Structure 1
Amino acid sequence: MIKKVAAIHDLSGFGRASLCTIIPILSTLGVQVCPLPTAVLSTHTGGFQHYSFLDLTDNMVEMIGHWKELGLRFECVYSGFLGSPRQIAVVADFIDHFGKDNLVVVDPVMGDDGRLYSSMTEEMTRGMRGLVKKANIITPNFTEAAFLLGKDVGLRPGPAELKDWLLALSDLGPETVVITSAPAESERSTAVIAYDRRNETFWKVGCPYVPASYPGTGDAFASVLIGGLLGGDSLPVALDRAVQFIYQCIKASYGFDYPRREGVLLERELGLLKMPVLISGYEMV
């Protein structure tokens, strides 16, 4: 009666990111979240220094073993921030066991704003290129898409070249590729672009650019997307729903004077997920 998502992400104690964002969003959308923590951090890694970091690889293996004994089943496997190269193999095995005939979403969390996160290495980047092969859907931001493809992160590709990026990422394995924070025609706007290989269609959802960056919005976007798909949305409708929610969160947060590294004011906006959504922003390109 309630669909389950195995959420393989870190738990950051402060900063509205990862599991602290994923759990409330998917729960609000009527989905049970079963967390498989990859690491415990005092804060997320975006904008904070000297944070504590506890690698939970061994604990992950124990938890997975118990879940196998219990015969658990999930409608979706959703992976994000991984704490070590070894975890990539652990998650790949998890997908092989629990992801059969189900939705597998890999958010290749590696970096943003043109650079890798401080905990990421070249070995992790290579490993992510292998992990995305096992996904049905991947949701990199523009920076992560560039690293996956070995592209210059300083490029500003046009619409035709962005389609080539989507096709190249799909050639790695995933049936559906979603790139967030993609360049738009105007510097006053941003876009989410997607490719659906099964139907050979490209989608775009644009929104006005707000001159502020908040950590955790990628986690929130992918969570709304997954909740929409599990609830019966088509891909373009789920994309539209996710973009509208993130845009409203950013607009509401931008009006307050507080450190942006704390993330969007999610608690104020969760109720929007229960309200009817005017689906009108997506277009086929």
Structure 2
Amino acid sequence: MKNPVKKIAAIHDLSGYGRASLTAIIPILSSMGIQVCPFPTAVLSSHTGGFKDFSFVDLTDSMEDYMNHWKKVDIKFDCIYSGFLGSARQADIILDFIEVFKTDSNMVVVDPVMGDNGKFYTTIDENMVHKMRDLIKKADIITPNLTEATYLLGEEYIKNIEEDQIKKMLVDLSNMGPEIVVITSVPDLYISDNIDVFAYDKESNKFWKIGGKYIPSDFPGTGDTFTSVLIGSLLNGDSLPIALDRSVKFIALGIRESFGFTYPAREGILLEKVLDKLKMPMINSNYELLE
């Protein structure tokens, strides 16, 4: 039976304060007309970006029962979307989840949340990197930032990276399993105030680049926002370059809107002020097909 509304299993943490993970994913995808079914990996009092001494409840021991109930009631998903993991063991549970709920007609998206700016997040270690490598083998799409891409490949983080090196990374990551690889947060080597997103589609053997102006701010949760808009756009019928472009533009819009207000940036971008823009038609597309 086909879902009357597209349905996503969102395997992420729930942070009580700050717009990240499920508190960003649910409103974004819901506003795009997609039902989000949360599968929480951990419950935190706040997200980990900019907060100290946050409470952290690891839900690993409850995840299998959670999954088994969904299996029993025979839920059909159009997408399985995993992000932040509360423990390395959770990767094995997610692999089981994919085995149970993956079909020929749905897609698996893995955002391998591990770090940024060349460093691990506080709850991540090398063991998680090995588990993430196992997980992306089962993914159709992955969306690491530049730091996470280097961890997955076992390479050194290089901030000022050449375009040809990025293209090689995209192909190398795709050879690990996923059909589509997206690398975000890549500083533009030639335009100093740009930050780029690169993508590779194995089936068409095409590379894409979407550039955007860098705004000097640090809002946690933008990776969750980007991937959520990307998934929503693809499920709603957009092509890959248009979905990428829509995601980049929405992030830029959210940052510009938020940057104009005085409030703690660690709360994340002000999604409540820009969610209504997600259904606007795309104009002036900014993607570039690379040779």
Is this a same-fold pair by TM over 0.5?
Answer: yes
Local SS of the residue matching 1:71: coil
Structure 1 residues 102-136: Cα deviation after superposition (integer angstroms, max 9, x where no partner): 11000000011211000001100111011001000
Aligned residue for 2:24, secondary structure, equals helix
Displacement of 1:157: 1.4
Cα contact 2:31–2:278 (8 A) shared by 1: yes
CA apart distance, 1:155: 4.1
| Aligned with residue 169 of structure 2, among 158, 162, 165 | 165
CA apart distance, 1:277: 2.1
**5+ long unaligned stretches in structure 1:** none
User: What pairs with 1:5-154 in structure 2 (closer than 5 Å)?
Assistant: 5-101=8-104, 102-154=106-158
> CA–CA distance in 1 between the matches of 2:8 and 2:16?
21
Residue identity in the other structure for 2:91? I
Where 1:242 maps in the other structure, the secondary structure is helix
Please, what is the CA RMSD of the aligned residues? Answer: 0.9
Off by >6 Å, runs of 4+ in structure 1: none
Within 2, Cα distance between the matches of 1:12 and 1:245? 22
Aligned ranges 1:129-278 → 2 under 5 Å: 129-184=133-188, 185-278=190-283
TM-score by length of 1: 0.98
Aligned residues of 1:3 and 1:31 also touching (Cα < 8 A): yes
1:38-95 CA-to-partner distances (Å, cap 9, x unmatched) read 0000000111100000011122111101011011110000000000011000001101
Instruction: Please give the secondary structure, in 1, of the residue aligned with 2:50.
Output: coil
Displacement of 1:279 after TM fit? 4.7
Give the whole-Å Cα distance in 1 for the aligned partners of 2:176 and 2:229.
Answer: 24
Say if 2:159 and 2:186, in contact at 8 Å, map to a contact too: no
Residue type at the aligned position of 1:121: D
Distance in 1, matches of 2:215 and 2:159, equals 21
CA distance in 1 between counterparts of 2:213 and 2:187 reads 12
1:204 Cα deviation (Å)? 0.7
The question of whether the paired residues in 2 share the 8 Å contact of 1:240 and 1:279 is answered with no
Of 241-250 and 254-263, the range deviating more from structure 2: 254-263
Tell which deviates more after alignment, 40-49 or 153-162.
153-162
In the alignment, the residues of structure 2 paired with residue 272 and residue 211 of structure 1 have an alpha-carbon distance, to the nearest angstrom, of: 23
How many percent identity over aligned positions? 57
CA shift for structure 1 position 149 = 1.1
Counterpart position of 1:2: 5
TM-score w.r.t. structure 2 length?
A: 0.96
Contact between 2:159 and 2:187, CA under 8 Å: does it hold in 1?
no
- Give 1:257 deviation, angstroms: 1.7
Unaligned runs of 5+ in 2: none
